[in-house]
Amino acid sequence: MTLIRPQDWHVLPAEEAMARLAVDDEGLAPEEAERRLREEGPNRLRPPERRTLLRMFLTQFHNVLIYVLLAAGVVTVALGHFVDAGVIFGVVIINAVIGVVQEGKAEKAMDAIRAMLSPTALVVRGGHKYQIPAEDLVPGDIVALQSGDKVPADLRLVHARSLQVQEAALTGESTPVEKALAPVQAEAPLADRVCMAYSGTVVTYGHGRGVVVATGDATELGRVSRMISEVQTLETPLLRQMAVFGRWLTAIILAVAAATFFFGWLLRDYSAGDMFLAAVGLAVAAIPEGLPAVMTITLAIGVQRMARRNAIIRRLPAVETLGAVTVVCSDKTGTLTRNEMAVRSVVAAGEVFDVTGVGYGPEGEIQRDGTPVDLDRHPLLRHLARGGLLCNDSELQERDGVWDVAGDPTEGALLTLAAKAGLDLGHEARVCHRTDAIPFESEHRFMATLHHDHEGHAFIHVKGAPERVLAMCARQAGDDGDEPLDADVWHRRAEDLARQGQRVLALAWRRADDDSLRALTFEDVEGGLTLLGLFGLIDPPRDEAVVAVRKTHAAGIRVKMITGDHAVTAGAVAEQLGLTAARVLTGADLDRLDEAELRTVAAEVDVFARTSPEHKLRLVKALQSGSQVVAMTGDGVNDAPALKRADIGVAMGQKGTEAAKEAAEMVLGDDNFASITHAVEEGRTVYDNLKKAIAFILPTNGGQALTIIAAILVGASLPITPVQILWVNMITAVTLALAMAFEPTEAGAMDRPPRRTDEPLLSRFLVWRIVFVSLLLLAATFGMFLWELEGGAELAMARTVAVNALVAAEIAYLFNCRYLYRTVISREGLLGSRPVLIAVALVVAFQLMWTYLPPLQLLFDTRGIDLASWGRIAAAAAVIFVAIEVEKAVAARLARRR
């Protein structure tokens, strides 16, 4: 058996393909089929090698921040504080478990594709038909197809009668593809290989036969599956930033702790043991062990918020990635458009009429220049709509208020037009009973139906490709009667509609010569017809998608359409969406570009048509190589590799394939592009809230660390013990910082451009704020400690006052952090956040227990303090609050001057 490359089968005539596969119309002999099955293997996609659960679990710990957290846990154990150590290690383990679960979900992408394979197939072997498991198919098998079948393997068609296949999941083509037997050119894209039927696609109309040319991993579906398994997922911007931040923070903490140890030991005459404990205390103070927990919880809250806006997040870090997106690459069909055909234009009696309404519901009207048309004054329009209704094999259905079509989407659009024209679909079909029909076939490119009315009059309707129907017409209909056909004018009108991206159908009719006619033949329709008019159909853009694209552009984010549909259609839809469609590139154009040229083109062009899965993947990679953060949307198997590679893949939840959903980080519950805009807004909010949490936590740790360093520098006792530091970190830092996760979206979040991917987690401004606040906390904590000692208080009392001063200052600073750059002094700023008020109330309650409850006094060596001390603590906190608000005002004034 001589095989050729799988992608070349569409080049061969059907007879030669069968000869290459050594098979005839009788099919393979059963013995030969068994031999080939042993040789080729079963027709199923092989699962990729998977990592063991243990390996997946251990890799979750390979992160600098986790190392820092583990180090904090080890230090806490060394201090004998086992409960706190348990909390720290618990956070690490929970994060690892979440990571394993999410990674396991991502690996289901290949499982979802394998599930797309048909479970059974009807084959011809040895001249007899057999129903066999699809996995037993082999190259050379003859497979019979009929409406409703899932194609079980890649087939070279050898017979087709009115055969149409829905290939949107594989190619992105919005309408079923009419199949033919003639070979096509070698470079024809997948969507144009009309002589092929591919595994996993669905037969929507007609019947046919094909010879199996590829099974299992050799199919187009298998090729996409391999692409998914080979695609490397990228680390999110936040995780990259946190990794860099974690390395720097670890190095700084270790260096400062070591320097402090040697300074106290060598220059301050502390013993090595005392300085070791002091250095450990410094490390515990400086390590923000609450930060990973706060980061995880903040992302989780973002997930909940997005879910309420129909955006379901499958991978936690993807929440924040949305806030950094600079480019959204979107599929057209079903994402930017409704994936429902609709009649947009009607040409009759020399006039062009517009049709409003979307979907298959009967809501809408026929207009001329924006004004509704009185159909009684334009009877030809109703005649045209009636003809589209009668010359039709599909049916409109309504379930729970949702209209859908059973059959061909194009025919469904004609039925909807008839309803908008005021026709009763069921009544018209009964009054004008169909007697016979010539079904549509790609060879003759039209469909014809014979009808008889209640008076017994016979008439014929013909619909099909304009050039074919025009060739069958002698006259054209007008509101005032028939007249000779002007074919050139109608050809130009059809071309005008096509240039607008509309699929054009022509409709003609004539009365039968003999009312007793009961059988329709080609001779009955070959000439003498009267043209009624043209239909212009399109898969219309979603209204909300038009608004969403505009908002996305306002947020500084480019939107690029990457579709498998025709270039003209893609360009027309892009213009309606507000995209730049002056230049539309096809997959064939992309194939001629090297990687450097592709990077340039990917950045400049917004519309790409007739693309394959490889093209989509190359475009995503090209954009990423230009430092873009890419969100890729899609619903088909053909989108899955690019969805996995993108910084964030966005799949459609309603009409999307399972393969697309499993490859994506986010699923849109309403299949609405507008939900992406909402998700980006939430993503920016999450990042803003993370910055606020970091801006709150780090000065807390910085203030504690500086307090210990200051004590060592001046040779004083430590104002806060390591155990007390753990209390502050566990009760206040995490509790108060967590309130930042609930902050609402700030005004103007979608009016600023996306943040740069190379932007550090800590900007100069945030570094300055952290240093400034750390110094203020140092002054409050160490100052109150020294004040108490100078007043004759015992060491334990002074430490109790110092810790409470630190906590009070953190509470004041929490309100400052609600707005990083503008003043918080307003009713909304001070009282507008219930989570902040609850967190403050909890911390105050905990601090009172910590200060006055005997068991906690014994554990943390604290003492009850008097009202005068509380007054000084409150005053110190108020001074810090005012100082930071003044700093904000000064910074804002300097920024305006620049």
* Active-site residue list: 331
CA distances from 335 to 315, 386, 548, 617 (A): 21, 32, 12, 18
Centroid of chain to Cα 836: 32
Query: Do 165 and 204 form a contact (C-beta atoms < 8 A)?
Result: yes
Please state, in angstroms and rounded to a whole number, the distance separating the CA atoms of residues 666 and 664: 6
Please state, in angstroms and rounded to a whole number, the distance separating the CA atoms of residues 335 and 12: 35
Q: What are the two backbone dihedrals, phi and then psi, of residue 850, each rounded to the nearest 5 degrees?
A: -60, -35
* 61 SS3 class: coil
Quick one: three-class SS letters along 169-191? HHHCCCCCEECCCCCCCCCCCHH
Please state, in angstroms and rounded to a whole number, the distance separating the CA atoms of residues 124 and 138: 12
Question: What are 852's two structure tokens?
Answer: 């006055």
CA distances from 584 to 26, 420, 601, 605 (A): 47, 34, 11, 7
CA distances from 306 to 102, 554, 666, 686, 809 (A): 17, 21, 10, 10, 34
- Strand ranges (DSSP E) for 303-445? 311-313, 327-330, 342-348, 351-355, 366-368, 371-372, 395-399, 402-406, 433-438
Mention every residue, 6+ apart, whose C-beta is less than 8 A from residue 99: 56, 60
Query: Do 836 and 812 form a contact (C-beta atoms < 8 A)?
Result: no
Please state, in angstroms and rounded to a whole number, the distance separating the CA atoms of residues 840 and 830: 12
Mention every residue, 6+ apart, whose C-beta is less than 8 A from residue 670: 310, 653, 654
Please state, in angstroms and rounded to a whole number, the distance separating the CA atoms of residues 536 and 355: 10
Going 82 to 84 to 88 to 94, the CA torsion angle's sign is positive
Mention every residue, 6+ apart, whose C-beta is less than 8 A from residue 798: 719, 785, 786, 788, 789
Which of 178, 103, 638, 601 lies closest to 408, judged by CA?
A: 178
Which of 620, 627, 647, 631 lies closest to 759, judged by CA?
A: 627
Q: Where are the alpha helices (DSSP H) in 392-542?
A: 409-420, 425-431, 466-470, 487-499
**Cα within 13 Å of Cα(819), Cβ side:** 21
Centroid of chain to Cα 643: 8
Q: At what angle are helices 290-308 and 64-78 packed, to 10 degrees?
A: 130
Please state, in angstroms and rounded to a whole number, the distance separating the CA atoms of residues 251 and 75: 17
Please state, in angstroms and rounded to a whole number, the distance separating the CA atoms of residues 718 and 609: 69
Please state, in angstroms and rounded to a whole number, the distance separating the CA atoms of residues 526 and 518: 17
- Strand ranges (DSSP E) for 552-707? 558-562, 584-586, 607-609, 630-634, 648-652, 666-668
Mention every residue, 6+ apart, whose C-beta is less than 8 A from residue 58: none
Query: DSSP letters of 776-804?
Result: HHHHHHHHHHHHHHHTT--HHHHHHHHHH
Provide the pairing of β-strand 177-178 with 446-452: unpaired
Classify residue 501 as left (phi > 0), alpha (psi -120 to 50) or beta: left
Provide the pairing of β-strand 473-478 with 529-538: parallel
Question: What are 380's two structure tokens?
Answer: 């030809």
Query: Do 166 and 201 form a contact (C-beta atoms < 8 A)?
Result: yes
